[in-house]
Amino acid sequence: MTELHAAPSSAAPAEPQSPPSFPFPVDPHVGIPAEYAERRASCPFGKVRLPSGDEAVLLVTYADSAAALADTRLSHNLTAPGSPRITAGPSFFDDPENLLNKEGADHLRIRRIVASAFTPRRIERWKPTIAAVAGELIDAMESAGSPADLVSDYCFQLPVRIICKLLGVPERDRGSFRDWSNAFVSAARMEPQQRAGLMHEFSAYTAALLAAKRAEPGDDLIDDLIAARDGADRLTESELVYLVAGLIAAGNETTSNMLSRSVLTLLRDGGGLWKQLVGDPDLIPAAVDELLRYNPLGNGAALRLAVEDVELPSGTVRAGDAVLIAASAALRDEAVYPDPDAVRFDREAPAQIVFGAGPHYCLGAHLAKAELRIGLGLLVERLPGLRLAADPLTLSYTEGEVLSSLVSLPVAW
């Protein structure tokens, strides 16, 4: 399906219309752009122009997005010269050694090395640690007294401390992780030169961390990855650096973002949803699933490159075309989610695509859901009177091209 425009009344040919710029502005009342619903109704397979200047077909329906995420002909590998980009300037798309840019056997080789650390059984053993860290953070908040900034005091601290413990990263270094992670996953608006500088700092830190681990080995995940790099499964040094940096960045920025947005959703409009969980904490697993659907990680989307023609429900992507998969649009698709802009803890929903699908399904999905359930559950238990201490419409976001996080979330109790 293509975008059609009415012919002008004069005989002169119409000039081609430039695709609209992406990302679209967010409607503050529903948390995602109003254009998504409009495009589902009138143009579900139209092109948009990215911040880099490249064009891509934007997918906004659940059927198109689910099919595209699982189709290996829509490649993650955007490292070739001239490949499309979401952002201008340097990004993690540039390096072929990055796991996110690998395909096929090479991709599976690296996933096999890391996957054992993130199985449901392994995450089950981590739950007491997650609960202990969350409890310590709430203790500190109560000790400091109301009000507090839930982003800096809790939502960011919880996942970053857990990923530090899992990897074996010194917690004293975590103060720099937010800026580095924002640059690595394009989660904050910044100039290309600033992003390049932060990414260089992050790579240099990771390389030094690996050198220190080799000098004094332990039994953490980084030690396992180093052993794999030096052993039969062999990771290259660049793969190892990117893998550790990626685990640090993804292990804190995405979960922190989701936890803070979830609490905001529960507390706004008088806190009725929060009170539901206080009254029935058994709803928390279902609430997390629904909040993952409702709250986008940002106003961005996943970029893919078609290596051959791919037929999707709404049209055919031609070989060489870029495809932009907007999961936040797909998860509000009226055809799949009745009353999609409402948060319903009793919703019966199809397969969740917020963590991707197919061979690239997020390695950390089980860990993220455990952190969200435990982190939210302890807040409900320990601070049942939690309330917003600021107008939701005045809150600031980092406005990155890929992710967009709450800068702060003032709360009181």
Q: At what angle do helices 365-382 and 157-167 cross, to 10 degrees?
A: 130
- Copy the structure tokens of residue 14: 């119409």
Residue 114 CA to residue 93 CA, distance in Å, equals 20
Helices 221-230, 104-115: crossing angle, 10 deg rounding: 140
**CA pseudo-torsion sign 229, 234, 236, 241:** negative
State residue 187's pLDDT score: 64
DSSP 3-state of 18: coil
Query: On the CB side of 247, how many CA atoms lie within 13 Å of its CA?
Result: 27
Helix, strand counts (H, E) of the chain: 14, 10
pLDDT in tens, the chain (413 residues): 333 333 343 444 443 578 999 989 888 778 889 999 999 999 999 999 998 899 999 999 999 999 999 999 999 888 888 889 888 776 666 777 777 778 888 888 888 888 888 889 989 999 999 999 999 999 999 999 999 999 999 999 999 999 889 888 888 888 788 888 877 776 677 787 888 898 889 999 999 999 999 999 988 888 888 887 656 667 788 888 888 888 888 777 789 989 999 999 999 999 999 999 999 999 999 999 999 999 977 666 889 999 999 999 999 999 999 999 999 999 999 999 999 999 999 998 887 898 888 888 888 899 999 999 999 999 999 999 999 999 998 998 877 666 778 899 999 99
374 Cβ contact list (under 8 Å, min separation 6)? 127, 130, 131, 134
Task: Give me the domains of the chain, ranges plus CATH numbers.
Answer: 35-412 (1.10.630.10)
Q: What angle do CA 144, 261, 111 make, to 5 degrees?
A: 105
**DSSP structure class, residue 173:** G
Question: Can you tell me the distance from the alpha carbon of 71 to that of 358, in angstroms, rounded to the nearest whole number?
Answer: 7
Paired strand residues for 21 = 49
Angle subtended at Cα 240 by Cα 239 and Cα 245, rounded to the nearest 5 degrees: 100
Alpha helices of 232-364 — where are they, by DSSP H? 237-267, 272-279, 284-294, 327-330
- Spell 37-67 as b/e; 16+ CB within 10 A means b: bebbeebbbbbbebbbebbbbbbbbbbbbbb
For residue 92, the model assigns a pLDDT of: 65
Backbone dihedral angles phi then psi of residue 56, each to the nearest 5 degrees: -150, 150
Per-residue pLDDT at 401: 61
Q: How far apart are CA 141 and CA 411, in angstroms?
A: 11
CA 323 – CA 306 distance, rounded (Å):
7
State pTM to two decimals: 0.87
CA–CA dist 55, 47 (Å, integer): 6
List Cα–Cα distances, 407 to 138, 302, 336, in angstroms: 19, 23, 32
